[in-house]
Amino acid sequence: MKSPDSAQTVQILHPAHTITRNNDYLQDMKQSEYCVEASSSLLKFEFHSEGPNGKIRKQVLFKAFDENPDVYNLGFGDVGADGLMNDTIISNNNDSSRILSTVALTILKFYEKRPDAYVFIMGNTPARTRLYRIGICNNLDKVSNDLYIFGLAEENVWELFKRDRPYSAFLIKAKNSTFDL
Amino acid sequence: MRKHTPTFSAFLKKAANIQINHSLDSSTHAPFFDEKMERGKKILAVAGLPKVK
């Protein structure tokens, strides 16, 4: 069980680190999305994360399920020197909110060609899925008027996303069938 | 035409400005994706799809 004094203890032991992390986070929130490029099918996107660990090549992939061709699984990860994408790497580049915002941008672009599709999102670990949930929470007000966002609740039932609920996966669907500007 | 919130419209415009790079048109080998597809397939088989209006 977490001690009620644990947060205070961390601050006492690492005050400078705590301040730096907060500043990084605030700076991160102010920045806009990364510059993204897309394949002509709008099923593959690439951008570069920039931060204390350098420039890291990121890729977002959408792949349809054979059994549900209107549902696309979203894959996201780093591209290694071997050209292979890996979704297990934790790059710690202090830009997670900027990255999530950029991935959200790729979903909107994806919808240009497939306005009736569902996008299925699930992290490869519970921690990664929690990070996605935080990203959705932070942007919910911005998108809830135009997108349905569903969370997979414990009973394996989809429900409209609520901020205070844990979910193991997410589904996104556009409310309108055309994304006219 | 649907009226979007200003913030969403701005976000849509950014998405519209994403450029196509044909060098990304080659197929991508992502071994982890096979497992990811399998997990997603099982979830969708049980949970189905939510109903939307």
Q: Which helix (H) or strand (E) holds A60?
A: strand A54-64
Residue A1 within any structural domain of the chain:
no
Q: Does residue A8 register a pLDDT over 60?
A: no
Closest-CA distance of chain B to residue A161, Å:
12
pLDDT tens, position by position, A23-57:
444 444 445 889 999 999 999 999 999 888 888 89
Distance of CA A96 to the CA centre of its chain: 8
Contact B49 A32 (CB under 8 A): no
Asked, for residue A132, whether it belongs to a domain, the answer is yes
| A22 is a domain residue | yes
> By the 8 A CB rule, do A96 and A34 touch?
no
CB contact under 8 A, B44 and A157: no
pLDDT at position A151: 96
Q: Model pTM?
A: 0.81
In a domain, A151, yes or no: yes
Q: Which residue has the higher pLDDT, A66 or A131?
A: A66
Angle at A110 between CA A104 and CA A112, to 5 degrees: 120
The ipTM value here is 0.89
Into how many domains does chain A fold? 1
Q: How far away is chain B from the Cα of A13, in angstroms, using its nearest Cα?
A: 39
Query: Percent of chain B, pLDDT > 70?
Result: 89
Please name the member of B4, B24, B33 whose beta carbon is closest to the beta carbon of A37: B24
Is B14 an interface residue toward A (CB < 8 Å)?
A: yes
Quick one: tokens of B48?
A: 């189905």
pLDDT tens-digit profile of A96-142? 888 888 999 999 999 999 999 999 999 988 888 988 898 888 888 88
User: Worst-scoring range by mean pLDDT, A11-15, A107-111, A170-174, B25-29?
Assistant: A11-15
Confidence bin at A22 (pLDDT 50/70/90): very low
Q: Any alpha helices (H) in A14-81, and if so which ranges?
A: 15-30
Containing domain of residue A43, as a range? 9-174
* CB contact A36 to B (< 8 Å): yes
